């Protein structure tokens, strides 16, 4: 009897934990920060030199310096005029909100950078898997994003513009649509 109860409790705990993961993600997408904007959300770096700090204020040490404007980052927390961000490599820290822009950008499959040669993200003429390929993008290439429909994003890189599968970029959430 005792083992049946323990097995039932264990099965219930596993099921509850699995369902909480989905609830947590859905809740995270719907949460709003003190600014009234959704958390988490993607933005870009506005300045060519952005200090990433270990805490929300200029009294905190600089842990990293970004040297490229337009780089996509994810805001995961807000405190006063400071935003805790995460980059495509998973590095986290605090940046003043004045150094961030609402412009959207993405990185082509950064998780594939170490997979070797011959791996590309296709930029297509239309938002369809059968559409002709305009450009083959290496993992890690930056793209500017104009809009996403939940499956595809209109993107531009080095003068080439077209559509890229939303699942192959870091800079837009799965299913996220915006113009």
Q: What's the predicted TM-score (pTM) here?
A: 0.81
Q: Is residue 6 very low, low, confident or very high in pLDDT (cuts 50, 70, 90)?
A: very low
Mind listing the pLDDT tens digit for each residue in 50-66? 999 999 999 999 999 99
Q: What percent of the chain has pLDDT over 90?
A: 79
pLDDT of residue 114: 87
Q: Which CATH superfamily is domain 106-178 in?
A: SH3 Domains (2.30.30.40)
Average pLDDT over residues 88-97: 98
- The secondary structure of 64-107 as a DSSP string is EEE--TT-EEEEEEEETTEEEEE-TT--EEEEEGGGEES--EEE
Contacts of 133 (CB under 8 A, 6+ apart): 122, 123, 124, 125
Pick the CATH number of 41-103 from 2.30.30.40, 2.30.30.280, 3.40.50.1370, 2.40.50.140: 2.30.30.40
Q: Is residue 30 very low, low, confident or very high in pLDDT (cuts 50, 70, 90)?
A: low
pLDDT of residue 10: 33
Q: Same fold for the domain at 41-103 and the one at 106-178?
A: yes
Domain boundaries, the chain: 41-103, 106-178
């Amino acid at each position: 009897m005792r083992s049946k109860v323990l097995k039932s409790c264990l099965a219930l705990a596993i099921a509850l934990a699995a369902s909480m993961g989905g609830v947590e993600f859905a809740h995270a997408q719907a949460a709003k920060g003190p600014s009234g904007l959704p958390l988490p959300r993607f933005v870009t770096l506005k300045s060519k030199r952005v200090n990433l700090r270990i805490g929300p204020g200029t009294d905190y040490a600089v842990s990293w310096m970004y040297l490229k404007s337009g780089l996509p980052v994810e805001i995961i927390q807000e405190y006063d005029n400071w935003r805790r961000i995460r980059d495509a490599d998973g590095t986290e820290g605090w940046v003043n909100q004045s150094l961030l822009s609402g412009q959207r950008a993405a990185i082509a499959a950064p998780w594939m950078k170490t997979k070797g040669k011959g791996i590309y993200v296709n930029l297509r003429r239309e938002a369809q898997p059968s559409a002709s390929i305009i450009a083959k993008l290496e993992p890690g290439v930056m793209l500017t994003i104009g809009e996403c429909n939940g499956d595809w994003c209109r993107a531009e890189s080095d003068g080439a513009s077209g559509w890229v599968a939303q699942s192959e970029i870091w800079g837009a959430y799965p299913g996220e649509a915006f113009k």
